[in-house]
Structure 1
Amino acid sequence: MAAFMKKQTVFTQGENPIKKGKKVIITAIIVIFALIFVNNCYYQVKEQEQAILTMFGKVLRVDTAGLYFKIPFVQSVHKVDMTTHGIGIGYTIQNGQNITVEDEGIMITSDFNFVDIDFYLEYKVSDPVAAYYNSENPDLIMKNMALASIRNTVVNYPVDDVITTAKGQIQSEVKEKLQQELTSNNIGLTVVNLSVQDAEPPTAEIVQAFKSVETAKQGKETAVNNAKKYQSEELPKAEATADKIVQDAEAKKEARIAEAEGQVARFNEMYEQYKLQPYITKKRLFYEAMEDILPDLKVIVTDGNTQQLLPLEGFNN
């Protein structure tokens, strides 16, 4: 009986295993909650993202890269990717191949033709708060805006220009219109770049026809360039010849003017002499004139009754 009481006393004084297990569980729960609490006190923002800190739905601030503190279970953090993204408009990429999306790429031109035109759009988040709160799917909204801007631009050009010479102008106008729409609707996105990937008619026969047109245009440009080259070579020669003609004409003009002025001065001098001695002056002028005329005249001396003249040229010695 004494031995039994002794064993019962020892059992009573030892720690109860059930109570010990409960303590371990409670301690583990407290440690877990402490770790969760501590873990929720801090958050890290990477280099290519920004974080929106909110409390009860109100935005407190926007954080860039770094380590930050927040109140656990009261404040929330929403991270936004700030890197540049790209999407195809008019096509999708599957297994490394471009697959045409006809509902997006086929558009009508100003001359009522159809053209299949593809764009590649690069964009990124410009306002994290607007991108996160102002719309449920800002990427889809931006793509729809891009499609509308492309259609509103392509419809102003004939199909020939869309496929050949107007690609640069079209992508510039589309980019400007799309950026205006994004700013107006404030969905937090901005356009980085937009480029035309390809533009061609929707059928193979029309593609071949437009290739022929493009070849003809290139031939036209070659001919124009050759003509401009010929112009640049011949124009200086023509200008030099024209300058020489003008200079010769100016020289002749000056000579004629000088000669005329000399004759006028001589005539005035003769007139002054004539006023002094009219008769003598007239005689002198007559003799001078005859000196100029007689060497070129054939002189015949006759008595008036001669009917036949013999050649006397040989007797002029």
Structure 2
Amino acid sequence: MGRILSTLVIIIGVGGAIVLSQSLFTVNERQSALILQFGNPINVINRVGEDQAGLHFKMPFITQVLYFDRRNIEFDMQPEEIQAADQERLVVDAFLRYRINNPLRFYQTVRDESGARGRLRSIMNDSLRGVIASIPSQDVISGQRSALMDRVQAAVEAQVATQDLGIEVIDVRILRADLPPTIAERVFQRMRSEREQEAAGIRAEGEQVAQEIRAEADRDAAIIRAEARAEAQRIRGAGDAQRNAIYAEAYNRDTEFFAFYRSMLAYEAAIQNGTPIVIPPDSEFFEYFGAERGNNTGN
């Protein structure tokens, strides 16, 4: 009898422990919990913006608890080929961050994160294709990336709000937007050809401007040189006139001295050391050598 009683106590204890374990559950601060009773949602614990983390009770065996992450969740898209407005195809790699702000609606629409990824993949594809199809490939690749991501995020948020998925879109980012390898080289060659043509046009314009500047500079230099020569000739003429006037005045004052001075200058220029001169004794060139007082009359 005592053994049967002991066995019964053990069974009751084990059963109580099982019932107690099925009646208790914990929710940490990083989670929200959706309570299901016979498969129907009846309550949400620790929603976004609430603080209900800790130990909680539920009806054993008939109540199920589903946990959802309250943190930001990242969904990374696979690279997709998308056609831009200029018919060029681009390989676009993007990702999205979202947060479950309504676990009940999230469960009703997509069930779990796997279902959410499938729905978000479709929404991201539609939004990316719709936005990129309105923009030339060059703008997608080299510029306007921030504005492009803002437009994609707005399109994704609009679809998420329309479908009421119980999530909040935090961020949308485009990691890479490049031409496919099969056509990248062709497009590169075309872009290089366009840049070379543009550079050739700029160089031709620069050469034309340089020629015009050189021609104008040469013309200005010729004018300056002509004016300088004219001014030099004028100054030289004025100097010669002034010199001749001085010579004339000096000659008129003492003609004999002037003749003597002119002869001395001629002797200095003509007679050098070791220079033989053959000339008659009565030559007028040496008339001052025959006069004791320097008189050119020979007396």
- Indicate if the aligned counterparts of 1:164 and 1:214 stay in contact, CA closer than 8 A: no
Aligned to 2:175: 197
* Pair 1:81-2:69 in alignment: yes
Alignment of 1:156-235 (within 5 A): 156-203=134-181, 204-206=184-186, 208-209=188-189
For residues 63 and 140 of structure 1, what CA distance do their matches in structure 2 show?
Answer: 26
- Indicate if the aligned counterparts of 1:123 and 1:189 stay in contact, CA closer than 8 A: yes
Cα deviation, residue 25, structure 1? 4.1
Cα deviation, residue 109, structure 1? 0.8
Give the direction of change, closer, same or farther, for the CA distance of 1:132–1:211 in structure 2 (3 Å limit).
Answer: farther
Cα deviation, residue 29, structure 1? 2.3
* Pair 1:33-2:33 in alignment: no
Could you tell me which of 98, 101, 115 is aligned with 2:90?
115
Aligned to 2:39: 57
C-alpha RMSD over aligned residues: 2.7
* Pair 1:153-2:131 in alignment: yes
- Indicate if the aligned counterparts of 2:33 and 2:65 stay in contact, CA closer than 8 A: yes
For residues 197 and 126 of structure 1, what CA distance do their matches in structure 2 show?
Answer: 26
- Between stretches 124-133 and 25-34, larger displacement belongs to 25-34
TM-score (norm 2): 0.56
Give the direction of change, closer, same or farther, for the CA distance of 1:42–1:210 in structure 2 (3 Å limit).
Answer: farther
Aligned length: 186
Cα deviation, residue 23, structure 1? 4.7
For residues 191 and 102 of structure 2, what CA distance do their matches in structure 1 show?
Answer: 44
The amino acid that maps onto 2:16 is A
Cα deviation, residue 166, structure 1? 2.2
Give the direction of change, closer, same or farther, for the CA distance of 1:123–1:158 in structure 2 (3 Å limit).
Answer: same
Cα deviation, residue 171, structure 1? 0.9
Alignment of 1:8-47 (within 5 A): 20=3, 23-47=5-29
The amino acid that maps onto 2:62 is V
Q: Deviations over 1:213-270 (max 9, x none)?
A: 9999xx9xxxxxxxxxxxxxxxxxxxxxxxxxxxxxxxxxxxxxxxxxxxxxxxxxxx
Give the direction of change, closer, same or farther, for the CA distance of 1:106–1:207 in structure 2 (3 Å limit).
Answer: same
For residues 20 and 94 of structure 2, what CA distance do their matches in structure 1 show?
Answer: 48
- Indicate if the aligned counterparts of 1:42 and 1:67 stay in contact, CA closer than 8 A: yes
For residues 191 and 78 of structure 2, what CA distance do their matches in structure 1 show?
Answer: 21
**Percent of pairs identical after alignment?**
21
- Indicate if the aligned counterparts of 1:40 and 1:72 stay in contact, CA closer than 8 A: yes
- Indicate if the aligned counterparts of 1:138 and 1:189 stay in contact, CA closer than 8 A: no
